């Protein structure tokens, strides 16, 4: 097949209506997006202010609709100040003199509606189509993706009426967030707390993303393994795990079911979405076991981890002491090559390796690895020296396919590079037909 050499387009759009692809962070999904935030009357309303601020800071336009009860907990002025946008509390309010049916206008303006916090009463209204104030009228009129963050007392939350109302919403396509257990404002410890603000933001960002990978399960590995020498010391490498986390979160935003298998030392931000299945592993052998278990039925395996290639031949129990000893000899043995071991059983799973290379011939070394490990793709990038990928926030890579195609991606922030990679894989880039 003829070699194709192209560069991925920066700021690739997902559809003509979609703003540019995210740049450095998942929260960039909010850039220039129109969000209708419906705040109803519970103590968690103060957290809605934090959400409004977070989205606004990320470039989103947030209009807030409040119920009368919500205004008892937090003032409309708080939201106007945070968002720089109008806040409507009354069905008969007019933001501009020529506003007529403002609840309809707002429902048509918004790209997503977030009800946060959603009280038991408001959930019941949503489920049964009641519309007797501005917040419920505009909610009923809204036709786009809807996210609901319930918050209430445990008894109200567990009441079969509320449960059934939440089920109705889920069946109708609302994304209803779990209300985790915790200490509630009423003093009870139990379910009914509102989901944390960063989780609500993640879910909203997912609803604003194209569902490119919906229905697909992907496995991503990231970070370095640790190969213990004794109980204190280990061999490892400089892989930070940032690209693994970026790949996992980008896939999740694009609708995939994601397993992230990360080395213990990998930087896995604690704000990753809860929907992501994160497994931590220590050694290359553990990584092999975890990947082998996760692989079955996966649409893609993206092997971004940097497993150690060698390990001490034996793990010493306790701590090797230096007193009275000469420096001990450290004998190493090879660890298993995970991709090579698993590629014969990959079936339909797309297998993607990463090749961090130093020195000359980066691409030919990467292609040799693609062939030796029988991969569908390899992403070649530079390790060491100028453009070093390790511990960096950005990456420049060339995606090479088994069919002989090549495409440059970046230099981009790692999150954006991950976003582009998933688009390329989903498009079947460079596949031999
Ligand atoms: N890899 C693997 N198992 C290993 C080592 C690496 O599956 N024991 C995977 C990496 O996750 C990566 C690809 O193989 O996707 C290439 O890794 P790299 O470290 O660049 O190459 P190696 O195969 O380890 O060869 P070398 O270190 O000699 O360059």
Q: What is the pLDDT of residue 10?
A: 45
Task: Give nearest CA residue, ligand 1 atom 16.
Answer: 355
Q: Output the CA 262–ligand 1 centroid distance in Å.
A: 15
Q: What is the pLDDT of residue 43?
A: 93
Task: Enter the tokens of residue 404.
Answer: 């002989």
Assess whether 186 carries a catalytic annotation: yes
pLDDT tens track for 144-193: 999 999 999 999 999 999 999 999 999 999 999 999 888 877 777 888 99
Phi and psi torsions of 136, nearest 5°: -75, -35
Sequence-distant (≥ 6) Cβ neighbours of residue 391 within 8 angstroms: 238, 240, 242
> Where in the sequence of the chain do the CATH 3.40.50.10300 domains occur?
217-317+329-427
Q: Output the CA 144–ligand 1 centroid distance in Å.
A: 44
Q: What is the pLDDT of residue 1?
A: 36
β-pairing, 310-312 with 300-303?
unpaired
Residue 102 has pLDDT above 50, yes or no: yes
Kindly write down the DSSP assignment for every residue of 117-161, as one continuous string: EE-HHHHHHHHHT---SHHHHHHHH--S-EEEEE---HHHHHSHH
Domain 217-317+329-427: which topology? Rossmann fold (3.40.50)
> Where in the sequence of the chain do the CATH 3.40.50.1950 domains occur?
34-207
Average the pLDDT over 49-76 and give the result: 96
Residue 97 has pLDDT above 70, yes or no: no
Q: What is the pLDDT of residue 359?
A: 74
Residue 386 has pLDDT above 70, yes or no: no
Average the pLDDT over 408-433 and give the result: 91
Distance of CA 202 to the CA centre of its chain: 7
Q: Output the CA 223–ligand 1 centroid distance in Å.
A: 12
Any ligand 1 atom below 6 A from CB of 52: no
Average the pLDDT over 67-93 and give the result: 94
User: Among 11-15, 96-100, 116-120, 356-360, which is the least confidently predicted range?
Assistant: 11-15
Q: What is the dihedral of CA 47, 140, 58, 178, to 10 degrees?
A: 50
Residue 2 has pLDDT above 60, yes or no: no
Ligand 1 binding pocket mutation candidate from 237, 303, 356 (most atoms within 8 A of CB): 303
Q: What is the pLDDT of residue 181?
A: 83
Report the distance separating Cα 202 and Cα 369, nearest Å.
Answer: 36
Ligand 1 binding pocket mutation candidate from 260, 304, 339, 341 (most atoms within 8 A of CB): 339
| The architecture CATH gives domain 34-207 | 3-Layer(aba) Sandwich (3.40)
Choose the catalytic residue: 116, 137, 186, 284: 186
Q: What is the pLDDT of residue 326?
A: 81
Q: What is the pLDDT of residue 23?
A: 56
pLDDT band at residue 214, thresholds of 50, 70 and 90?
Answer: very high
pLDDT band at residue 349, thresholds of 50, 70 and 90?
Answer: very high
Q: What is the pLDDT of residue 187?
A: 79
Task: Give nearest CA residue, ligand 1 atom 27.
Answer: 309
Cβ 395 vs Cβ 412: under 8 Å: yes
Provide the sign of the torsion angle of the four alpha carbons 219, 280, 343, 235, taken in this order: positive
**Mean of pLDDT over the chain:** 90
Any ligand 1 atom below 6 A from CB of 382: no
Residue 64 has pLDDT above 60, yes or no: yes
Any ligand 1 atom below 6 A from CB of 369: yes
Average the pLDDT over 305-310 and give the result: 96
pLDDT tens track for 313-347: 999 999 998 877 788 889 999 999 999 999 999 99
Q: What is the pLDDT of residue 11?
A: 43
Residue (of 126, 147, 297) closest to 208 by Cα position:
147
Residue 3 has pLDDT above 70, yes or no: no
User: Among 50-59, 70-79, 186-195, 326-335, which is the least confidently predicted range?
Assistant: 186-195
Task: Give nearest CA residue, ligand 1 atom 29.
Answer: 357
Any ligand 1 atom below 6 A from CB of 335: yes
Q: From the CA of 356, give the closest atom in ligand 1.
A: 20
Q: Output the CA 291–ligand 1 centroid distance in Å.
A: 14
Q: Output the CA 313–ligand 1 centroid distance in Å.
A: 19
């Amino acid at each position: 097949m003829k070699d194709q050499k192209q560069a991925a387009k920066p700021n690739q759009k997902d559809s003509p209506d979609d703003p540019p692809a995210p740049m450095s962070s998942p929260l960039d999904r909010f850039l220039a997006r129109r969000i209708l935030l419906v705040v109803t009357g519970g103590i968690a309303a103060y957290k809605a202010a934090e959400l409004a601020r977070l989205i606004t800071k990320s470039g989103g336009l947030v209009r807030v609709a409040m119920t009368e009860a919500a205004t008892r907990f937090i003032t409309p002025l708080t939201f106007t100040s945070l968002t720089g946008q109008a806040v409507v509390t009354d069905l008969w309010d007019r933001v501009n003199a020529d506003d007529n049916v403002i609840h309809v206008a707002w429902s048509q303006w918004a790209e997503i509606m977030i009800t946060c916090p959603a009280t038991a009463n408001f959930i019941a209204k949503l489920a049964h189509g009641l519309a007797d104030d501005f917040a419920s009228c505009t909610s009923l009129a809204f036709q786009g993706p809807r996210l609901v963050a319930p918050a209430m007392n445990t008894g109200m939350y567990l009441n079969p009426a509320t449960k059934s109302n939440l089920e109705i919403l889920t069946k109708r396509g609302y994304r209803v967030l779990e209300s985790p257990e915790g200490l509630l404002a009423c003093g009870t410890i139990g379910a009914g707390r509102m989901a944390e603000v960063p989780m609500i933001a993640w879910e909203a960002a997912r609803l604003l993303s194209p569902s490119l990978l919906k229905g697909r399960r992907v496995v991503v590995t990231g970070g370095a393994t640790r190969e213990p020498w004794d109980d204190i010391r280990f061999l490892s490498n400089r892989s930070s795990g940032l690209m693994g986390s970026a790949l996992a979160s980008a896939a999740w935003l694009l609708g995939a079911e994601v397993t992230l298998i990360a080395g213990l030392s990998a930087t896995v931000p604690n704000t990753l979405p809860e929907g992501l299945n994160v497994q931590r592993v220590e050694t290359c052998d553990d990584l092999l076991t975890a990947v082998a278990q996760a692989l079955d039925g996966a649409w893609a395996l993206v092997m971004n981890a940097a497993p150690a290639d060698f390990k001490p031949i034996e793990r010493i129990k306790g701590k090797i002491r230096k007193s009275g000893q000469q420096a001990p000899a450290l004998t190493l043995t090879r660890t298993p090559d995970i991709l090579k071991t698993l590629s014969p059983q990959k079936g339909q799973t797309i297998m993607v390796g990463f090749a961090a290379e130093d020195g000359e011939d980066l691409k030919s070394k990467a292609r040799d690895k693609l062939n030796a490990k029988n991969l569908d793709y390899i992403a070649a990038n530079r390790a060491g020296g100028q453009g070093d990928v390790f511990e960096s926030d950005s990456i420049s890579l060339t995606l090479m396919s088994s069919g002989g195609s090549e495409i440059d991606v970046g230099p981009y922030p790692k999150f954006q590079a991950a976003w582009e990679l998933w688009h390329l894989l989903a498009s079947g880039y460079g596949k031999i037909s």
